[in-house]
Amino acid sequence: MPGTATANSAVIEISKLSTRFGEHVVHAGLDLEVRQGEIFAVIGGSGSGKSTLLREMILLHRPDAGSIRVLGVDLRDIDDPAALALRLRWGVMFQHGGLFGSLTVMENVGLPLREHRHLDDAAVDALAAQKLALTGLDPEVGEQYPSELSGGMMKRASLARALVLDPELLFLDEPTAGLDPESAGEVDQLVRKLRDQGGLTIVMVTHDLDLLWQLADRVAFLADGKVAGIGSMAELALMDEPAIRKFFHGPRGRAAQEQQQSASPQSENLRSPAWKPK
Ligand code: ADP
Ligand code: MG
């Protein structure tokens, strides 16, 4: 079937990407590949273009030049039916949840099914309940409204909605930002569970060093409009690139690295202080 990625192939291919806002150059010939089945993270300083890159991958922003292929489909000049077909193959968890405040959690999670699948109400509710359970939410939470949820529950509900169409690709924008350490640890476990179920490719933007060290297979470090380095966290930590060295050898990066190196099973749930870019 055309447009279907096979094992070990690239599910996202970005070539010579350029993005400007007026005179401000955000991406200047950026190249990147995300492989089938990996947990891929994008990191870099504030304003380095991480969120914009994510928005470009999911058809929310149009680059000025270069190409992006997602699941084998070129996003340039994509028509509406093709864009819709593609949107149904990925799930997105936005940083602030993006749930509709006027709908219950259950209605929010079921919404993509109602819009895109020909199912009766009972079938929609059953599938939505299944995703709530997968993300560790009690069935009662389904009856609540987003404003009644804690930050951690909101992230779970939004993840349940992102997964409801059983996507091939999952995009996470700062999945643990703003959460207390315990809730952040629970999100880690959830991402790990999704990874272990297999099949899903996950792309995330995060500052969370625990997520990065424990779960990311590969990490791309953005600086000066390009990928300044790419590899596992351990590989990045050895790179000579000044921006990357600053990230790893600043006080917070070093503390997290040391904690990682001395990590025992018991310390797995200890979280390092969140790294904030300058
Ligand atoms: P990051 O997520 O790495 O912090 P962003 O991708 O959000 O960075 O933004 C990269 C740069 O582009 C920043 O300087 C930001 O101010 C600018 N930018 C992002 N979106 C817009 C926009 N819609 N209009 C103008 N400038 C923008
Ligand atoms: Mg951002």
Closest CA to 174 of 96, 108, 271, 228: 96
Q: Tell me: the pLDDT tens digits for 165-194?
A: 999 999 999 999 888 888 899 888 999 888
Could you state, in order of their start, the residue ranges of all structural domains in the chain?
Answer: 96-166
Q: Is the pTM of this model over 0.75?
A: yes
Q: Tell me: the pLDDT tens digits for 208-224?
A: 888 999 999 999 999 99
Mean pLDDT of 106-129: 94
Residues above pLDDT 90, as percent of the chain: 69
User: What's the 163 CA to ligand 2 centre distance in angstroms?
Assistant: 22
Q: Tell me: the pLDDT tens digits for 153-162?
A: 999 999 999 9
Q: Which atom of ligand 1 approaches the CA of 205 most closely?
A: 2
User: What's the 236 CA to ligand 2 centre distance in angstroms?
Assistant: 21
Cα Dmax for the chain? 57
Q: Is the CB of 19 under 6 A from ligand 1?
A: no
Q: Is 102 helix (H, G, I), strand (E, B) or coil?
A: coil
Q: Is the CB of 54 under 6 A from ligand 1?
A: no
Mean pLDDT of 105-111: 96
Q: Give me the residues near ligand 2 (ion), CB cutoff below 5 Å.
A: 51
- Count CB atoms within 10 A of the CB of residue 66: 18
Q: Is the CB of 36 under 6 A from ligand 1?
A: no
Q: Which atom of ligand 1 approaches the CA of 49 most closely?
A: 6
